Amino acid sequence: MKSIFNNKILTLELTLLLLCNVVLLNLPLTNILGYEYSAINGILITLLGGIYTLSFLKKNSSEKETWALLKELFQNLLPLAVLPLLMGLAASLFVRNCSLTEGVLYYLVLSVPSLIVGACLAITGFLISSRFSYLLFTVAFLLALFLPLLYIYFNPQIYFFNPVIGYFPGTIYDEAVEIDFKLISYRLLNILYFASSAYFALRIIRQSKFAPKAIFLAALLAAAVIFILLGDTLGYSTSRSRMVSELGGHVSTEHFEIYYDSRIARKDIESIILHNEYYYEVVSTALKVSPSEKLTTFLFFDSKEKKKLLGSANADVAKPWRYELYINYGNYEQTLQHEIVHLLSKEFGVTPFKISAGFNPSLLEGLAVAMEDNFGEHTVHYMASLAYNNGFRFPIERLFQGLNFFGELSSLSYVYAGSFIKFLIENYGVEKLKEVYRGGDFSTAYGKPLGALVGEYYSFIASYKPLGSPDEAIYYYGRKPIFKKVCARFLAENIDRAWNLYNSGKYQDSEVLFRRLLNYSESYQALLGYVTSLRKTDKTHEALKVLRENLDKYTKTSYYYNLELLTADLSALNKNYLAADSIYRRISLQRVSREFDYLSQIRMELVRDTSLIRKYLKGSDFDKYTILKAMNSDSISYSTIPVLIGLSEKLEESYPEFMKSWIGKLKVSSFPSSYAAFRLSDYALRNLAFQDSRVFLTSALSYKSDSDFSEVLRLQLKRINWFLNFGEMTLSGVKWQ
């Protein structure tokens, strides 16, 4: 093998590769040996390896034996694959909470095969025409890199497998990118296809005959086409027909084709049908659009099925250019309207994807948030005011520039973009906003620059009432965006693995894995999993000790409050009732969220009877349900109602049986009683008991001291009235297939 440093092209490429990786190791997400680092190096290695291969072929005699030629070529190419690995390993040694083993696995699976891909593309280009080989290689490289994007455009999926980078997950919402059998098998097939192609191409180059060349190229193309056609069957892609087939259920409504997992109960599908049609009417009216074709909803039973078919386990997705949305069954009440906004905005969207001009995420997501106007049972203006008045600020102008939307915590970006756009629509109408969405300038559309509009918005949001508490602001906004996390994907994959062990009842195994993760990270999920695993094996003293040792690390973060509640629960289990009661009372005063309010109130009532609090905390769902129902025997304990609703659903209690304890018995005179009535109204609506739902909601509205909550109730009443007026007619026109 020739000396590397005597080879000018290889030396230049290694220098360029070194400089690129120095930059990568100083950027978020690519600063350690992980998925992003390996995927980007896959691109660099394919490109540089191909260029070197062409220079090598032009300088070496075609009389050389094929295997000898290949051996020399890959010996020379090897440093291109080794250099980024060594740099990534060196960088990862200085990062405490990253796994070198998994980092190496990412690199071996994603980056190393790219060396063979680049060499094969170059050899094939040289075979077709040595004169135009660089041009042919460049075209082949770009096709290999970007052609798989067509899967995302023409198929429902948001992921794709790719010979250059191995795999693209399609979303940053799911932090875990697993090196599983499917990905490994795909890369092995890549190696087999491209390595054998390189070998036979070199043999034909030595022969310099047209017939073998034409046969080889035809066979090469045919094999690629066959693999693409079989991709759906092999699980490397998801066609619409496959998704429809695997879900199994189908219903047609006036404005939707709904495909759903056949395990979902008919009652729930009917509720989803009504929500689809209701949000369609609300959003199309607000945006002043009238689509010419039906929308399609794909409804998955759980995140596991959604991950398999769509590529995203957690994030619900809309594809406006396809008029399709994809949601988890358990999420539809929270995300359906948001995704329908994305679909209906196609009517004034631009680009091939029918979205906001310039792919501006603040316009795209901000419009959807503004239209739904419900962020954790609060209005979007309330949530923006909560952030703004408690120090969670960043310039709105910057939010609408480039991809700055993704540089902040996602909840902050969504809230500010949504609140600002809602402000613009409320004060200037929707048509001006649509003009900007299409690509117009703020100054042209509104007659004033963006800065002036932002100034008006700041004045509005600074004086917005009611004000939330500082603890509530920290709870919603005290987290890191993924770009500021270290080893996000390593941790996410292992956290998922540990929770799978926990959910399978393997508490000792999950305890070991969570403890290991906690030892090299400050992950909240690792701490929570470790403590709950200890609790499951009755190691409550050790669990409390671990919590107390780590709790201070999470002050001023969203995670602190749940850990605080868990500390109080463990104190009660360890018979330190005074400490537990003190923490419960502190949580109640913090006004963190409505959920924490009623959870702390329940525990404050229970801790008065020391045996009862321990029985509740250690008991099954049935035990908890029995205890909470008993608390309502003499008079209604309003704080228990949201929890009782959830437990009743888990225990599969019938709607009439559960509701007989509450119908006609609520007296709304405070926020807890109003909130309880609201939750009962929502539960009745899910069970298609429209009249019951309106009765409870009307009761909830009698409490008027919280203007933000009153607006949430008003929107709920609007939905209930639509269901009452049009629900039966809508369901009667449905075609079940």
Query: Which ranges constitute the DSSP H helices of 345-469?
Result: 361-372, 380-388, 396-399, 410-428, 430-437, 442-446, 450-462
What is the mean predicted confidence (pLDDT) over 111-117?
Answer: 96
**What is the phi/psi pair of residue 318, to 5°?**
-125, 145
* DSSP character string of 197-212: HHHHHHHHHHHT-HHH
In the prediction, which pLDDT does 205 show? 80
In the prediction, which pLDDT does 279 show? 97
What is the mean predicted confidence (pLDDT) over 455-459?
Answer: 95
In the prediction, which pLDDT does 483 show? 45
Rounded Cα distance between 723 and 693, Å, is: 10
pLDDT at residue 3 greater than cutoff 60: no
Residue pLDDT, tens place only, 24-59: 998 877 888 888 999 999 999 999 999 999 999 888
Residue pLDDT, tens place only, 150-196: 999 999 999 999 999 999 988 655 666 788 899 999 999 999 999 99
List strands edge to edge, sheet with 295-300: 317-319, 324-328, 295-300, 256-261, 248-252, 735-736
* DSSP character string of 457-507: HHHHHHT-SSPPPHHHHHHHH-S--GGG-SSHHHHHHHHHHHHHHHHTT-H
Half-sphere exposure in the Cβ direction for 641 (13 Å, CA):
25
In the prediction, which pLDDT does 407 show? 73
In the prediction, which pLDDT does 62 show? 59
What is the mean predicted confidence (pLDDT) over 422-430?
Answer: 97
**CB–CB of 375/387 below 8 Å?**
no
437 strand-pairing partners:
none
- DSSP 8-state secondary structure symbol assigned to residue 651: T
pLDDT more than 90, % of the chain: 77
Confidence bin at 494 (pLDDT 50/70/90): confident
What is the mean predicted confidence (pLDDT) over 613-630?
Answer: 95
pLDDT at residue 266 greater than cutoff 60: yes
**CB–CB of 558/525 below 8 Å?**
no
Helices 210-234 + 181-207 axis angle, to 10:
170
Confidence bin at 498 (pLDDT 50/70/90): very high
Q: How far is CA 193 from the centre of its chain?
A: 33
**CB–CB of 519/494 below 8 Å?**
no
Confidence bin at 1 (pLDDT 50/70/90): very low
Instruction: Determine which of 24-33, 551-560, 593-602 has the lowest per-residue pLDDT on average.
Output: 24-33
Confidence bin at 636 (pLDDT 50/70/90): very high
Instruction: Determine which of 131-140, 420-429, 456-465, 480-489 has the lowest per-residue pLDDT on average.
Output: 480-489
Quote the pTM value: 0.89
Q: Which residue in 10, 187, 178, 24 sits closest to 81, CA to CA?
A: 10
Q: Which residue in 379, 416, 386 sits closest to 400, CA to CA?
A: 416
Residue pLDDT, tens place only, 642-672: 999 999 999 999 999 999 999 989 999 999 9
CB neighbours of 219 closer than 8 A, spacing ≥ 6? none
**CB–CB of 250/257 below 8 Å?**
yes
Rounded Cα distance between 642 and 637, Å, is: 11
Q: Classify strands 248-252 and 160-162 as parallel, antiparallel or unpaired.
A: unpaired
pLDDT, averaged across the chain: 91
pLDDT at residue 97 greater than cutoff 60: no
* DSSP character string of 495-543: HHHHHHHHHTT-HHHHHHHHHHHHHT---HHHHHHHHHHHHHTT-HHHH
- DSSP 8-state secondary structure symbol assigned to residue 324: E
Q: Looking only at Cα atoms, what is the longest distance across the chain?
A: 97
Q: Classify strands 317-319 and 295-300 as parallel, antiparallel or unpaired.
A: unpaired
Q: For the purposes of burial, counting CB atoms within 10 Å of the CB of 192, is it exposed (0-12), middle (13-18) or buried (19 or more)?
A: exposed
* DSSP character string of 75-138: HHHHHHHHHHHHHHHHHHTT-TT--HHHHHHHHHHHTHHHHHHHHHHHHHHHHH-STTHHHHHH
What is the mean predicted confidence (pLDDT) over 204-216?
Answer: 76
What is the mean predicted confidence (pLDDT) over 437-461?
Answer: 94
Half-sphere exposure in the Cβ direction for 507 (13 Å, CA):
10
296 strand-pairing partners:
257, 324
Tokens for 143? 């096709």
Return the HEC string of 48-89.
Answer: HHHHHHHHHHHHCCCCCCHHHHHHHHHHHHHHHHHHHHHHHH
pLDDT at residue 488 greater than cutoff 80: no
What is the mean predicted confidence (pLDDT) over 253-262?
Answer: 96
Q: How far is CA 510 from the centre of its chain?
A: 24
Residue with tokens 């989803």: 272
In the prediction, which pLDDT does 7 show? 77
Look at 480 and 576; give whichever has higher pLDDT.
576
Rounded Cα distance between 207 and 192, Å, is: 23
Tokens for 339? 């995704």
Tokens for 673? 């009683």
Confidence bin at 538 (pLDDT 50/70/90): very high
In the prediction, which pLDDT does 536 show? 93
